[in-house]
A and B are shown apart, each in its own frame.
Chain A
């Protein structure tokens, strides 16, 4: 039983890491702009597609060892999706900033449909095989079994999350972001260029989303145009669970949602003596979410309602 438990913890960590990475994008944008960026799931989806094209182009050019190719393709995906994120904010959200919160949100929904259908039309709607980036070999550990891909995902996610935390808390540019998220008006009065902070957030968030997309595609071996909306919704849930607007909250929410889902699949039938089957996984997962929100409406690590958020409500 203990090895079974351990095995399930490994699965929960792997999927939770991916949810957490995507949730970061939702939470950072919300923190500063009070905007739910519905297009964020599509950046996650675009990551593996762009990675595949870059890899194909690099292989066609030739001359580089495969490891260098992979690293270059990963960096290109991060930067290109990040730049796309900045462009989306600049042209689809910023002009609507003066028109309350509904207009940018609808614009984000539209952007999501545009990006998803662009891939659907140009590449095709069918799922495409995605090769494993790290060789996928199983390792026996304490009675459970972990694959190198799972370890790779976990390691990469932890490094990215630690890097982001250090960046936001420890650097001067990070201070801009935190200041902008605390109070837009005050920080601009203090001479912080809030628009730069916003652009930076729209670079980092989609970039991290793209990384999560590459990990996800490499883990499951496929990518498809609809994966952004399906997984994006889960990650958005994770962001709310952890407390939207809070960076550690998004990470916690991701791992927690992963754990709840795995628990719902692996232990619900055992705990209930077979009365409740695996098909109730989502019922269980979202019931937990509702319960958490009932007792902590701002999410687990979310800030409680401040004057600032009350002011923001006037926008409606």
Chain B
């Protein structure tokens, strides 16, 4: 008993030595995969948020209080995510979090954040996350309903393609988003010739593709992860299936083009929640500042990290007291003009105007498809 008291005193002393937090500082937590296969996406969010908080501090912080951003790695692992959530909850100085990037990690963590009344800005995109009745969450980013709907409208309307095949990896994400695509594609007058399930870790789709070839579709929508999207695309082009290929945000990475090879990736459509970094003067400015601060151009989700930080800071700005209750009271009412356009939340906490963008692979690069 005595020993554990000494130990915990030591631990507290150590912790305060590592992160010196003055009483008046405002601390926000952030969590995303910063190591592992998805580190490119996760780290970019953390960098974007850090950039915003740095800028805020240069302008004098929030009402004269310095803002401290505390990022923790969740490794895209639900078990690690719940540990991180508990860590933030147990630190009384943390009065808001931006977490987590993956829907599967966010789901079990929601309950923990909600139990300690932690204001939470969610970067994950599964529609169900906002329908579970938690009052502590808002989401500035577009959910998967929008992500599945946009390409369905595009191919059935603008491109006039009417015969689609769905492939999904039987996960909540893959199957869900393929279902949304189907609904919208059929609304646009299209027909689904077949739906095929694969395993999330499959690498050989050749037998399946030979079967799909017989259906002679002009659109193939695939709700799956990486590298499966790239492998499927490569193998279908190898079998000379020339249907329009569409994939979700996970495929929005140069790895898709590299692993499928640029020639085979040409013309593939992918949805993503962010516009290109050269599409507005604000984003160009953001890119330059990111380059100056970190010595590299912003990663795929950097601007989203920045926007999420803007939202939590806006709530703190209006808060009457700098604690969780104070920020929480203002969170749902936030109306801000962010880097990616206006943000305002409905009663569920979803952003009412969150956009989704469609990209096409052209000459080995992603290019925005203009509506």
Contacts and interface: CB of A to CB of B under 8 A. Distances in A.
A126 interface: yes
Given A7-B210, A8-B210, A278-B196, A127 B240 contact: no
Nearest to B175: A279
A127 B230 CA distance: 11
B199 to A, nearest CB: 7
B214 interface: yes
A129 interface: yes
A179 to B, nearest CB: 39
B197 A277 contact: yes
A12 B259 CA distance: 23
Interface of A: 4, 7-8, 11-12, 14-15, 125-127, 129, 136, 138, 145, 147, 220-222, 224, 226-227, 230, 261-262, 265-266, 269-270, 277-279, 281-282
15 contacts: A7-B210, A8-B207, A11-B210, A126-B255, A127-B226, A127-B227, A127-B255, A129-B259, A145-B239, A220-B203, A221-B260, A222-B230, A230-B201, A265-B208, A270-B211
B29 to A, nearest CB: 25
B16 to A, nearest CB: 32
A279 B198 CA distance: 5
Contact of A224 (B208, B227, B234): B227
A226 B207 CA distance: 23
B206 interface: yes
A222 B231 contact: yes
Q: Choose among A136, A262, A279, A281 the residue with the greatest number of B CB atoms under 10 Å from its CB.
A: A279
Given A8-B210, A125-B37, A277 B238 contact: no
Contacts of A136: 238
B206 A221 contact: no
Q: Choose among B196, B198, B211, B255 the residue with the greatest number of A CB atoms under 10 Å from its CB.
A: B211
Contact of A4 (B197, B203, B214): B214
A220 B204 contact: yes
Nearest to A219: B204
Nearest to B169: A279
Interface string B216-244: 00000000001100110010001110000
A278 B208 contact: yes
A11 B239 CA distance: 11
Nearest to B196: A278
A195 B230 CA distance: 46
B210 A138 contact: no
Nearest to A229: B201
B261 interface: yes
Nearest to A145: B239
B207 A11 contact: yes
Given A11-B206, A138-B238, A266 B211 contact: yes
A262 B259 CA distance: 23
A302 to B, nearest CB: 27
A279 B167 CA distance: 10
A279 B227 CA distance: 19
B59 interface: no
Contacts of B203: 220, 222, 227
Contacts of B108: none
Interface in B309-326: none
B195 A129 contact: no
Contacts of A277: 195-197
Nearest to B258: A129
Contact of B211 (A129, A145, A265): A265
Given A8-B210, A222-B259, A138 B226 contact: no
Contacts of B133: none
Nearest to B198: A278
Interface string B22-61: 0000000000000011000000000000000000000000
B61 to A, nearest CB: 37
A52 to B, nearest CB: 14
The 9 closest A-B pairs by CB, nearest first: A279-B197, A265-B207, A262-B207, A127-B227, A126-B37, A266-B207, A11-B206, A278-B196, A220-B203
Contact of A221 (B207, B226, B261): B261
Contacts of B36: 125
B135 interface: no
Contacts of A222: 203, 227, 230-231, 259
Given A11-B210, A222-B227, 4 more contacts: A126-B37, A127-B37, A127-B226, A261-B207
A279 B196 contact: yes
Given A129-B258, A277-B197, A220 B231 contact: yes
B170 interface: yes
A269 B276 CA distance: 42
Contacts of A138: 238, 240
Nearest to B168: A279
Nearest to B261: A221
A136 B214 CA distance: 23
Contacts of B255: 126-127, 129
B211 A147 contact: no
A48 B227 CA distance: 17
Contacts of A261: 207
A4 B204 CA distance: 17
